[in-house]
Amino acid sequence: MRDYLAHEVRNICLLGHSGGGKTSVVEAMLYFTKATDRMGKTLDGTSVMDYDAEEIKRGLTVYASIAPVEWKGTKINFIDTPGFLDYQQETEAGLAVADNALIVVSAKDGVQTGTIRAWKSTSKRKLPTIFFINKMDEENASFEKSYQSLRDHFGKSVIPFEIPIFEGGKSIGSVNILKNKAWYYNDRENAKEVPASMMPSVEEYINQISEAVAMTSDDLMEKFFSGEAFSESELLQGVRTGVRSGDIVPVYCGSSIQLTGIERLMDLIAEYFPSYGEKGTIEGFDLNGKAIKLHTNENEALSCQVFKTIVDPFVGRISYVKVMTGVLTTDAHVHNIQQDKPEKINQIFIIKGKHQIAVGKLFTGDIGCIVKLQYTRTNDTLATKEKPITYPEIVFPQPMLAMSIWPKSKNDEDKMSTSLQRVAEEDPGCRLDKNAETGELILFGLGDQHLDVIVNKLKSKYKIDVELHDPRIPYRETIRGKVTVEGKHKKQSGGAGQFGDVWITFEPTDSLDMVFEEKVVGGAVPKQYFPAVEAGLRECMLKGMLAGYKVVGVKATLVDGKYHEVDSKEVAFKAAARLAYKAGMPAAKPILLEPIVKAVVTIPEEYTGTVIGDFNKRRGMILGMELNNDNEQVITAEAPMSEMMHYPTELRSFTQGRGVYTQTFDRYEAAPQPIADKVIAAAAKDKLHEDDED
């Protein structure tokens, strides 16, 4: 593969609903251009793109993968991304380095949830976009229905550039609207006249294209409204301008399996999609956070952004980069701007699915990978020390599904933590959190399938068996009443004894911690024993009397006591404080507190009633609702944490994958008695089980 400059590179992100055939489209292009010698398939393990064991097992894309295709003097870097929401972090990485988008739609299913999500992503980023209606060879395929559903959902900018020719219920060729010519699959080389029966449709579509082209310039608009037809050059130039601006979104069709429509789709990409170099400049930030611009060409100082990381047990760290400016060369000395560390470039590769092809350099706009960088992680910028720049970080989805993770074997306990850190470095869609209170290691993911992939990766890559459980809810305990009790510790076993006697008042307070005071009169308890009393109480407050949860909101006041000049010691007063705690807390009307979270849910408006009703079932409360800029409903609500454990999966289910949410801890509230009774009973059962094991 020869070197390609910035104006010759096209970076295309493939998007769409899972099962639409995104991967097979890339496989078809690789095969058509003779970059591979056969059409790869995911399920039989021959796919260039879906090569990971998890992808082969599941029959779908899990990880973003890259394949360069050389076509008519251009290098097209296809970034194949997952359509399934559980792997959205991979899609975000692909979108971050793409300059254009290809959304693949099934001719049988038309617009689906993944199509809508893809369109939303490309619109937000203002990426020039093409729709490819795939699987035209399959039963019940309908170009008209699929196209109409695209236009209904996404507006008049969506216009077909190619339509299928059907005969006997099968697609036998296609008509190119712009060229007004027909091609048949049994004679791909020679253009034919458009069938007379299709001319009305062709004229209707050419009018739609002309109307869209007219919007690209005042002169063309004037010509259009005067009723004058555009020349072929005006039409082509107007389309080129419209596609680049996003005012025109072409629709093509074909079958990746049959290799139909693939050639002209590549033509369209090479001819109409802008190269990265056409941006002219790219904006970043200097070391002081001030916005700066660099030129997107090879003469500019080097800068690269790392958008994906793989930690290979044999090779080490593999950093996927996009060259934002300048030229990346082997043996170059660069600087990691975020880490303020030097890095040496030892080897540069371009990636074709699972294959890495060594190259000496990468030019502006191109995508490749670097191995064995010491300090560099995803979202870091590599640049020169003389001209430092950082680029906006890729915003990955927040993982909300939490599970506690435990090794099945004690031998795996030490290895598990290290391996999970490596997994988290590769996967920005997961997060680890050690809960000091419960002792659990919590793994956060985007969904059940995402967590399942992580568990399988730990087993296959790091040889560690783990199991997932619902994490313990961090309940709290407090009191509602006031009580004064005695705690008396007396021990005499020959020689020096132990004696401590305290009277302590327990009462509620607003503080989340225990508040300790002393109001001892006349030296009934010497001052040197006050810290021991406090320490004894604080130790007890870590484990409540109801269900063993931390006690909060309690004020403990030492009001009286007794001591012995010989036998009184700190340890005795500490023990006396514990006895007072055990005597006083049950009498002070203890209650269980449950954590309340605040959730912000974003959904299409038609699901508003469903979401509100669901929160009512979860003992929740709606705090507010408003429409965002995308005309989606944003619902702010609160609910007990225990009711939200599997909410990410359930929200996705009843909104067909179109609902997203975040949640944060808000406060503690008294748990209803039936809930408290269940928690207390479960704690008693667990304690009994522990005692039996002992």
The residue ranking higher by pLDDT, 320 or 356, is 320
Whether the Cβ atoms of residue 371 and residue 318 lie closer than 8 Å to each other: yes
The predicted-structure confidence for 271-323, as pLDDT tens digits, reads as follows 999 999 999 999 999 999 999 999 999 999 999 999 999 998 778 899 999 99
What is the C-alpha to C-alpha distance for residues 84 and 61, in angstroms, rounded to an integer?
A: 8
Mean pLDDT over 499-508 rounds to 94
Average pLDDT, the chain: 91
* Residue 256 near residue 25 (C-beta atoms within 8 A): yes
Question: Could you tell me which residues come within 8 angstroms of residue 231 by beta carbon, excluding any fewer than 6 positions away?
Answer: none
SS (H, E, C) 339-363: CCEEEECCCEEEEECCEEEEECEEC
| Residue 622 and residue 635 in contact, taking contact as beta carbons nearer than 8 Å | yes
Mean per-residue pLDDT for 389-405? 95
Kindly state the tokens that stand for 521: 């009169």
Helix (H) or strand (E) holding 488: strand 483-491
Q: Is 76 exposed, middle or buried (0-12, 13-18, 19+ CB in 10 A)?
A: buried
Q: Cα separation of 670 and 679, whole Å?
A: 13
* 383 contacts 444 by C-beta, under 8 angstroms: no
Q: What confidence category does residue 455 fall into, taking pLDDT thresholds of 50, 70 and 90?
A: very high
Residue with tokens 């056969």: 38
472: how many CB neighbours lie within 10 A of its CB? 15
Q: What is the per-residue pLDDT for 113? A: 92
In this prediction, residue 694 carries a pLDDT of 47
Q: What is the mean pLDDT of residues 656-662?
A: 91
Cβ-in-10-Å burial (0-12, 13-18, 19+) of 141 comes to buried
- pLDDT confidence of 566, banded at 50, 70, 90? confident
Q: Which of 42, 3, 5, 37 is nearest to 23 (CA)?
A: 42
State how far the Cα of 401 lies from the Cα of 396, in Å rounded to an integer: 15
Share of the chain above pLDDT 90, in %: 70
What domains sit in the chain, N to C, each tagged with a CATH number? 6-278 (3.40.50.300), 280-383 (2.40.30.10), 401-469 (3.30.70.870), 476-588 (3.30.230.10), 592-674 (3.30.70.240)
Enter the pTM of the model. 0.89
The mean pLDDT value for 626-637 works out to: 92
Instruction: With a cut of 70, say whether residue 690 has pLDDT above it.
Output: no
- Quote the CA–CA distance of 604 and 615 in Å, as a whole number: 16
CA 530 – CA 36 distance, rounded (Å): 80
- Quote the tokens at residue 313: 């047990």
Per the CB < 8 A criterion, the answer to whether 485 and 506 are in contact is yes
Spatial neighbors of 82 by CB under 8 A, at least 6 apart, are: 18, 60, 61, 62, 63, 64, 88, 90, 91
Distance CA 177, CA 387 (A): 48
For residue 395, what pLDDT is reported? Answer: 95
pLDDT band at 688 (very low <50, low <70, confident <90, very high): low
- pLDDT-derived band of residue 37, with 50, 70 and 90 as boundaries? confident
CA distance 334 to 341: 9
* Nearest residue to 309 (alpha-carbon basis) of 360, 400, 372: 372
253: tokens are 């069709």
